[in-house]
């Protein structure tokens, strides 16, 4: 069992990840839906519906109209005049995306109440026809539709309203599948009884506030109502009935002769939005004044709604723009008329899931069997197929296919495969290096190369000191210090992966590049950039270097350093408060840098601090009690020192680990920097008698 697991652990882990991704998709929480919506919105942004002409005209309650008639709501006589003028042009239907829930405050009976008029004052007022009555009479003369909104709380002005449309269903009860609200909000009873249709303006709640879809039919107080757009078409087509076709999963199709609309099982359609047309809008004030041609409204569906900012009837669309809510209903009418609405087929969901599983499995399998550069081609090829398939179905069949989540699954599984492949190849590379290290000649040659790289820095030991204790004949670590100007120094401490001749050659190359670039007084980032790219080009397969590169100024006390995949750097102040600075870059020699900005450096001031760098041979080195020293052990050693100098720190750490064991666990390499005393030690002159000898 253990052998089987070790052999196929990559595939087993991949299977677990795949099952988790599938479960997440089936559960479909809100953040997964938001991933799917990315592709749905992208389709419409890339290919918005282009229309130059429209059968829907919007009478706009805009800022211009508010300036003419004053604050909203206006007197019903204004709306009466508007629909009277429009009706002369013989529109197919007139719909209101606004409510008339209370009596007109300017009607005679309301004025009587407001001013507490006595009976003798009321005689003439009582003979005046009220604005609500004038408006009702105009509604009765027109093919008018008013709005109804679903609500979870009752309205004080409610009455037992019923839809104007009659629903005929075949194959089941649609009420079981429609979205429902306990109550409804609409207009005054006397107004609603005079109109030809009642249309729902309820939108489905979206976490991001974007209106992508809406229900064609909804249930208010256990009664079915059509959406505003569908009701407008029914009234405009002089139809009494709406037909609902059911299947085994729910609602299949909704019809208002001669139009048939396919929906999802809950009666929902996805709206395809067009780019807004200025020509579709006309100001309510212009209509009131009769400043329009009759052709503008002849045989058109007319919606009355608000775009004025202060009325707060603005919604977001998948096109990334904000439009008046009334324009959403206009798009629905247009979608039904020209059959351009979008379809989200339930069977497509199953297809998406199976397709994503097949492509993910294939991509992962190939990533384990072929070279990474070829598996990358497979990955991008799979992405291209998914994208082309999604956009093709959108353009040619108006179907919404979720490509975002399959791409997400594909990316996760591909990166998982790539990670396993990297681990596997890294193991092979390290194994080969270990075999090479066993050869004696290689050890000796590499040892000579390695020893020649360590500089004599004894004259700098007052402020920087380092040592290397090899665990075997050859050390895989190295350090270097380069004095470039009177006050500026470069330094590095590094650990080369592996041992042997190749490691020695690799270290020699890294050291020579570092010295060359440092002596040119380049910025530290440029030095690291050059060392890394030269090592990448050296093509020492499977080898890399973890290193700390630094540059300090003994006058200012500032040190700039780069930690490339190395152990954390230890910094402590005079009170021995410790800080460990972790690596922010991968090891040197693995990935080519394209710009110097890829090299991340840090700068600190060492006037009152000490800077200590060491290889993993220090933290993983064994103490006499058999325990590892660890970073805490290094910290303990420093705390016990009465005199904190670079030499004292480094020598004490080396002595603590090199206590006389038969062999060390790993090379011990450590470097300390303290700018408290920056005096350079001059070499002692030999005595005259010594020279004569």
Count of CB atoms situated within 10 Å of the CB of 46: 10
Distance CA 426, CA 642 (A): 44
DSSP one-letter code for 90: -
Q: What is the sign, positive or negative, of the torsion defined by CA atoms of 541, 584, 608, 628?
A: negative
Who's near 31: CB < 8 A, 6+ residues apart? none
Residue 391 has pLDDT above 60, yes or no: yes
Q: What is the 3-state secondary structure (H, E, C) of 190-255?
A: HHHCCCCEEEECCCCCCCCCECCEEECEEEECCEEEEEHHHHHHHHHCCCCEEEEEEECCEEEEEE
CB 548 within 8 Å of CB 562: yes
In order, the DSSP letters of 464-477 are EEEEEE-SSSS-SE
CATH code of the region 440-674: 3.60.40.10
Cis amide leading into 73 (omega within 30): yes
Task: Please compute the mean of the pLDDT values over residues 350-372 and round it to a whole number.
Answer: 82
Of 154-163, 389-398, 527-536, give the lowest mean pLDDT range: 154-163
Burial of 223 (0-12, 13-18, 19+ CB in 10 A): middle
Pairing type for strands 301-306 and 56-61 reads parallel
563 three-class SS = strand
pLDDT of residue 311: 73
Convert the pLDDT of each residue in 207-245 to its tens digit: 788 999 999 999 998 899 999 999 999 999 999 999 999
pLDDT of 533 over the 70 cut: yes
Question: pLDDT, tens digit, for every residue of 433-471?
Answer: 666 666 566 566 656 666 776 888 889 999 999 998 887
Average pLDDT over residues 170-195: 91
- Position 691 confidence tier, pLDDT thresholds 50, 70, 90: very low
| pLDDT surpassing 90 at residue 539 | no
Q: How far apart are CA 664 and CA 657, in angstroms?
A: 8
Q: Give the model's pLDDT for residue 119.
A: 55
The pLDDT of residue 686 is 47
pLDDT tens per residue, range 397-443: 888 988 888 888 888 888 888 888 788 778 877 777 666 666 566 56
b (16+ CB within 10 A) / e for 619-652: bebeeeeeeebebebbeebbeeeeebbbbbbbee
According to DSSP, the β-strands at 609-614 and 223-226 are unpaired
- Residue among 216, 203, 212 nearest 250 (CA): 216
Cis previous bond, 258, omega within 30: yes
Q: What is the DSSP track for 104-162?
A: -TTSHHHHHHHHT--HHHHHHHHTSPPHHHHHHHHHHHS-EEEEEEEESS--TT-----
* Number of C-beta neighbours around residue 314 at 10 A: 14
Contact in structure between 573 and 608 (CB atoms under 8 Å): yes
Distance, CA of 283 to chain centre: 40
Provide the token pair at 263: 């929906």
pLDDT tens digit sequence for 4-13 = 666 677 888 8
Question: Strands 301-306, 93-96: parallel, antiparallel or unpaired by DSSP?
Answer: parallel
Cα dist from 82 to 62, 78, 107, 651, whole Å: 14, 6, 18, 96
β-partners of residue 303 are: 58, 95
Both structure tokens of 34: 């938001």
Q: Report how far apart, in Å, the C-alpha atoms of 532 and of each of 235, 373, 430, 526, 599 are.
A: 75, 21, 20, 10, 10
Q: What's the maximum distance between 2 C-alpha atoms anywhere in the chain?
A: 143
State the DSSP code for 601: -
Q: What is the mean pLDDT of the chain?
A: 86
Is the per-residue pLDDT at 689 higher than 50? no
Q: What three-state secondary structure class fits 305?
A: strand
Using CA atoms of 202, 207, 208, 213 in order, give the dihedral in degrees to the nearest 10: -40
For the chain, the structural domain boundaries read 2-44+344-437, 50-338, 440-674
What is d(CA 110, CA 90) in angstroms, rounded to the nearest whole number? 33
Task: State how far the Cα of 367 lies from the Cα of 46, in Å rounded to an integer.
Answer: 32
Query: What pLDDT score was predicted for residue 2?
Result: 66
pLDDT average, residue stretch 643-654: 93
Q: What percent of the chain has pLDDT over 90?
A: 47
**Any residues with CB less than 8 A from the CB of 163 and at least 6 apart, and which?**
198, 223, 224, 225, 226
pLDDT at 109: 60
- 405 touches 466 (CB < 8 A): no
């Amino acid at each position: 069992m253990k052998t089987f697991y070790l052999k196929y652990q990559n595939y087993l882990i991949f299977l677990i990840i795949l099952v988790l991704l599938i479960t997440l998709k089936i559960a479909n929480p809100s953040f997964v839906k938001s991933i799917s919506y990315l592709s749905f919105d992208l389709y419409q942004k890339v290919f918005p519906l282009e229309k130059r002409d429209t059968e829907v005209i919007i009478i706009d309650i805009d800022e211009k109209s508010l300036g003419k008639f004053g604050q909203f709501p206006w007197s019903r006589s204004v709306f009466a005049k508007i629909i009277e003028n429009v009706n002369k042009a013989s529109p197919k239907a007139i719909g209101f995306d606004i409510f008339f829930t209370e009596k007109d405050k300017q009607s005679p009976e309301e004025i009587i109440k407001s001013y507490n008029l006595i009976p003798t004052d009321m005689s003439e007022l009582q003979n005046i026809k009220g604005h609500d009555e004038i408006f009702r009479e105009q509604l009765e003369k027109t093919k008018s539709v008013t709005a109804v909104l679903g609500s979870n709380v009752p309205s004080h002005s409610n009455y037992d309203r019923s839809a104007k449309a009659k629903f005929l269903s075949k194959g089941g009860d649609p009420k079981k599948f429609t979205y429902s609200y306990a109550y409804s909000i609409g207009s005054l009873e006397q107004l609603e009884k005079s109109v030809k249709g009642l249309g729902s303006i309820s939108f489905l709640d979206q976490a991001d506030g974007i209106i992508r879809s809406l229900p064609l039919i909804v249930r208010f107080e256990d009664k079915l109502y059509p959406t505003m757009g569908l009701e407008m078409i029914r009234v405009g087509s002089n139809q009494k009935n709406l037909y609902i076709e059911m299947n085994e999963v729910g609602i299949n199709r909704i019809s208002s002769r001669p139009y048939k609309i396919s929906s999802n099982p809950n009666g929902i359609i996805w709206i395809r939005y067009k780019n807004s047309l200025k020509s579709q809008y006309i100001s309510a004030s212009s209509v009131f004044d009769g400043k329009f041609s009759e052709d503008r409204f002849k045989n058109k569906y007319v919606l009355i709604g608000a775009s004025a900012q202060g009325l707060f009837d603005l919604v977001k669309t998948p096109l990334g723009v904000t439009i008046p809510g009334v324009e959403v209903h206009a798009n629905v009418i247009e979608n039904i008329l020209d059959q351009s609405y979008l379809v989200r087929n339930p069977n497509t969901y199953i297809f998406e899931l199976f397709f994503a599983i097949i492509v993910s499995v294939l991509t992962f399998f190939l990533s384990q069997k072929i070279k990474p550069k070829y598996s990358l081609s497979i990955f991008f090829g799979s992405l291209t197929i998914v994208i082309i398939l999604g956009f093709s179905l959108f353009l040619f069949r108006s179907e919404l296919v979720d490509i975002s989540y399959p791409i997400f699954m594909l990316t996760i599984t591909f990166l998982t495969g790539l990670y396993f492949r990297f681990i596997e190849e890294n193991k092979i590379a390290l194994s080969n290096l270990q075999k090479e290290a066993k050869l004696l000649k290689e050890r000796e040659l590499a040892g000579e190369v390695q020893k020649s790289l360590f500089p004599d820095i004894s004259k700098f030991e007052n402020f920087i000191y380092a040592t290397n204790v090899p665990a075997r004949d050859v050390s895989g670590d190295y350090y270097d210090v380069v004095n470039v100007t009177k006050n500026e120094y470069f330094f590095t401490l590094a650990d080369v992966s592996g041992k042997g001749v190749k490691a020695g050659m690799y270290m020699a190359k890294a050291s020579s590049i570092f010295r060359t670039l440092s002596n040119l007084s380049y910025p530290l980032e440029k030095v690291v950039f050059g060392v890394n790219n030269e090592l990448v080009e050296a093509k020492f397969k499977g080898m890399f270097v973890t290193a700390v590169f630094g540059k300090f100024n003994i006058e200012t006390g500032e040190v700039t350093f780069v930690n490339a995949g190395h152990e954390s750097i230890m910094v402590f102040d005079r009170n021995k408060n410790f800080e460990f600075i972790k690596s922010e870059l991968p090891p040197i020699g693995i990935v080519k840098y394209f710009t110097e900005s890829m090299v991340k450096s840090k700068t600190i001031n060492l006037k009152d601090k000490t800077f200590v760098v060491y290889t993993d041979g220090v933290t993983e080195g064994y103490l006499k009690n058999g325990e590892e020293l660890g970073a805490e052990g290094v910290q303990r050693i420093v705390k016990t020192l009465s005199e904190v100098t670079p030499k004292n720190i480094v020598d004490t750490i080396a002595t603590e680990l090199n206590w006389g064991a038969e062999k060390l666990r790993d090379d011990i390499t450590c470097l300390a920097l303290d700018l408290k005393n920056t005096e350079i030690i001059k070499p002692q002159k030999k005595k005259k008698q010594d020279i004569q000898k």
